[in-house]
Homo-oligomer: A and B are copies of this chain.
Amino acid sequence: MEPPAPPRRVTIVDVARHAQVSTTAVSKVLRNAYGASPEMRAKVRRSIDELGYRPHAGARGLRGQTYTIGVMLPDIRNPFFPEILDGITGRLADTDYQVFLGPGGCNDEKAEARVTEAMIDRGMDGIILIAPVSPRAHIEHVASVVPTVVVGRHGHSPVYDTVTDDDVTGASLVVGHLADLGHRRIAHIEHHETDPTRIAEMPNAQRADGYRQAMRSFGLAEEIDIVSTTYTQQGGYDGAKELLARRRPPTAVFAGADIVAMGVLEALTEAGVSVPGDISVAGYDNTTFASFGPISLTSVDQAGHEIGENAARLLLERIADRHKAPVQIKLSPTLVPRRTTAPPLE
């Protein structure tokens, strides 16, 4: 069965005529360019809606725009990423850009290279990389080819913008909260990291660092106890098992991410350890999982929605002027205490 012949396409000329503006004005609105007034935007948008005009990606590709933005997601199971994504799609809802997500794989440099190359290859206009683990050189290569914003990875670069959370402060909020409750044996589960560049740039490394600094500042330097696994549910499970096997187990566990805390809670439930009766647990990210009533996990809110919005805004600016000065945005986290943390028994 052959598809029926498509009806004649509505063109930019039709839109301009209908809106009684120039085609240049329509093009400006479509490109989200400076110099289109809000009234002009509204008028053109109305005509676009009424006529059902849809820019043709193929044709746009020939002039260098595909109105496509790629978002590389490392792990679709981590409940923090939908928050960021909502912020991105929310900011782009009013534009002609379509977002496509590329699954990047968890801590998988090869998968990241594959998906970023695929995005470049499809002529995407801009890319948002969420918590990439690839070497800086690869990210700079990507950014030299296509406008790029990096989310959840610290460090400056002349070629891309970054949006991060202040992870050192976030970790210190957790340690301060637990110390205030009276805990001394506060352990941390970190994401194992050996790459020297990444140690300076990755949120996980900064959280571990913030934990160390805060423990020292609360006079708990001798109680510093870090288990290295991964930022996954399994990593949390394995880390908790390791901590429970200690001669003197901790009275509180600071998991580096909510998904890690999920694994911790799983292991503690299995071992018959009560939370927060025997052990307090805190996460990081303040996902919907943390706020879920039966769990009610103390966590750090790093404002994923705001992170996503900022990333999309910076990307639109960089698409409009790819040689602009790089911008680093660092947002301030807040602590959300819930039912999984309480004073220690002893």
Q: How far is the CB of A54 from chain B (nearest CB, A)?
A: 6
For A265, list chain B residues within 8 Å (CB): 293-294
For A293, list chain B residues within 8 Å (CB): 265-267, 269-270
User: Which residues A27-54 have CB closer than 8 A to chain B?
Assistant: 54
| A 77-119 binary contact with B (CB < 8 Å = 1; else 0) | 1010110010001000000001111110000000000110110
Q: How far is the CB of A151 from chain B (nearest CB, A)?
A: 16
Q: Are B56 and A121 in contact (CB under 8 A)?
A: yes
Q: How far is the CB of A157 from chain B (nearest CB, A)?
A: 11
Q: Does A133 have its Cβ within 8 Å of any Cβ on chain B? A: no
Sample of 10 more A-B contacts, CB < 8 Å, known A98-B118, A101-B103 = A1-B159, A54-B121, A57-B118, A58-B123, A76-B82, A98-B102, A100-B101, A100-B118, A101-B101, A270-B293
Q: Does A68 have its Cβ within 8 Å of any Cβ on chain B? A: yes
For A77, list chain B residues within 8 Å (CB): 79, 82, 288
Docked pose: A123 CA to B121 CA in angstroms: 13
Q: Are A76 and B85 in contact (CB under 8 A)?
A: yes
* A118 to chain B: closest residue by CB: B98
For A156, list chain B residues within 8 Å (CB): none
8 A–B contacts, CB within 8 A, in A order:
A56-B121, A57-B122, A66-B122, A98-B115, A99-B102, A101-B101, A267-B293, A294-B294
Q: Does A221 have its Cβ within 8 Å of any Cβ on chain B? A: no
Q: How far is the CB of A7 from chain B (nearest CB, A)?
A: 12
Q: Does A145 have its Cβ within 8 Å of any Cβ on chain B? A: yes
User: Which residues A136-187 have CB closer than 8 A to chain B?
Assistant: 144-145, 158-159
Q: Are B121 and A158 in contact (CB under 8 A)?
A: no
Docked pose: A269 CA to B98 CA in angstroms: 40
Option from B3, B99, B270 in Cβ contact (under 8 Å) with A103: B99
